[in-house]
A and B are shown apart, each in its own frame.
Chain A
Amino acid sequence: MIQIENLTKIFHSAAGEVTALREVSFSIEDGDVFGIIGMSGAGKSTLLRCLSMLEQPTSGRILLDGVDLASLRGKQLLAARRRMGVVFQGYHLLMQKSVRENVAFPLRLAGVRRAEREARVDELLELVGLADKANAYPAQLSGGQRQRVAIARALATNPQVLLCDEPTSALDPLTTRQVLELLRELNQRLGVTIVVITHEIAVVREICNKVAVIDAAQFAEGGRTDEIFAKPASSITRLLLGVEGGRKHA
């Protein structure tokens, strides 16, 4: 379980202070497909960077099974990172390495033996439907295929949580549906918790059983997707849903 407690992140720059997140609290249960939705600039990406331990919270805590992520150092930090797979918006694949080497990369970092590594990679590529592309290089793949490689790579260390940043924003509608289908399947087959950061309401509606709406650095509302979407309490949710009563947004 992931508990986010009063998470605040302030960036200091020459232009002054920017509060990217203010007192955000909610929890993600094991096995959820959890959507975090908001407009661009709402703070979603900062939230993902805090969850993936790329940024330290200014105040507040993120607990993974009761352990404060910010308190981890050294080996424990590396171990915690292996329990969370991250799929980045830009995929961030190693361009000089083949699909096989990319998926094997986290295993190599973890010191997994070669034979075991190879078997796991085959299994993962099978899982994401890219077994025939094992020896291709990222430059030879389409956006949807790269996304699948990124997903397979993130799953390599058997993480309990898969964090996905805008997994479909660069994909066409058909590929989007396939990638979402894959995420749902992974959640059901592997029991992995999936957190999807998105600005697209359709993505949340399609696969997320729960949702948190982030607006202007704050938590607007959250809960079961069907309930939130049936009775949106905040004006930002109404706006995202495109229903009457949503406030005008610049």
Chain B
Amino acid sequence: MLETILSLKGVLLEGLGATLYMVAGSTIFSYLLGLPLGVLLYTTGKGGIHENLPLNRALGWIVNIGRSIPFIILIIALIPFTRLVAGKAIGPTAAIVPLVIGAAPFVARLVEQSLQEVDTGVIEAAKCMGATRLQIILQVLLGESLPSLIRGLSITAITLIGYSAMAGTVGAGGLGDIAIRYGYYRYQTEVMLFTILLLVLLVCLIQFLFGFTANRIDKRNRS
């Protein structure tokens, strides 16, 4: 077993690199889209600082539709769009496009939920102190929910590991791709098990690092 793994060292390292690249890239871009969308979902909601119920409902629908399309179908359906944005439809960079489109609505909901945890009384207090809406968003909403946002970030990154494995099946490379090519098509079960082990370690590492950071910066835990 060890021999097979060692002989595939180069392939596995490259796969791990591709997975990390896809997950990191798509996490960053899905937050660039999803964070403002989540803030908008929250602030345009009932009683929000930018209450606008028609806009809120429209955004809610977009997010729900985005979240209900199975990711594997999204990858295929988005191929023309991916080509337009990334210049190609195959490879880790191209895979980031559907990964971002798939994860952004998910991120938006996570962000919305984190913001909902902020005590509305604190928002009112800030209003009474003469805060503008932008100041409320930046300094109260995002500042107070930072630990929760970081926990959401780890959930997103871990979900994207799973998604990136699926993207592997359509030529994106990465650990998921190796698991299928070697473990399934070539019956090398040990390679599949090893890639699973790598993925498990990766998930644990992300969970631990982000969880630790979130607890560390959460001032409510001080006593």
Contact = CB atoms under 8 A, between A and B. Distances in A.
A30 to B, nearest CB: 20
Contacts of B126: 105, 109
A140 interface: yes
Contact of A94 (B124, B135, B144, B218): B144
A82 interface: yes
B122 interface: yes
Interface string B180-223: 00000000000000000000000000000000000001111111
B222 A88 contact: no
A105 B143 CA distance: 12
Interface string A76-94: 0011011011101010111
A82 B126 CA distance: 11
B72 to A, nearest CB: 39
Nearest to B218: A96
Interface in B147-183: 147
A140 B124 CA distance: 23
A162 to B, nearest CB: 12
A137 interface: yes
A86 B125 contact: yes
B132 interface: yes
B34 to A, nearest CB: 22
A171 interface: no
A88 B221 contact: no
Given A94-B143, A96-B218, A54 B127 contact: yes
Nearest to B132: A78
Contact of B128 (A53, A96, A140): A53
A192 to B, nearest CB: 16
A234 interface: no
Given A92-B124, A97-B219, A140-B223, A82 B144 contact: no
Nearest to A82: B130
A85 B220 CA distance: 25
B192 to A, nearest CB: 44
Contacts of B135: 109
Nearest to B140: A94
B220 A109 contact: no
B217 to A, nearest CB: 8
8 contacts: A81-B127, A95-B122, A95-B219, A96-B144, A109-B126, A137-B222, A138-B219, A157-B130
A81 to B, nearest CB: 4
B121 interface: yes
B221 A139 contact: yes
Interface of A: 52-54, 78-79, 81-82, 84-86, 88, 90, 92-98, 105-106, 108-110, 136-140, 153, 157
Contacts of B132: 78, 109
B177 to A, nearest CB: 41
Nearest to A81: B130
Contacts of B146: 96
B219 A88 contact: no
B167 to A, nearest CB: 36
B131 interface: yes
A110 B130 contact: yes
A139 B128 contact: no
B1 interface: no
B162 to A, nearest CB: 31
B223 A109 contact: no
A92 B129 contact: no
A140 B223 CA distance: 5
A139 B222 CA distance: 6
A92 to B, nearest CB: 4
Contact of A109 (B121, B129, B221): B129
Contacts of B127: 54, 81
A164 to B, nearest CB: 12
A139 B221 CA distance: 7
Nearest to A105: B129
B219 A54 contact: no
**Best-buried of B121, B129, B131, B132 by chain A (most CB within 10 Å):** B129
B80 to A, nearest CB: 44
A97 B218 CA distance: 10
A157 B129 contact: yes
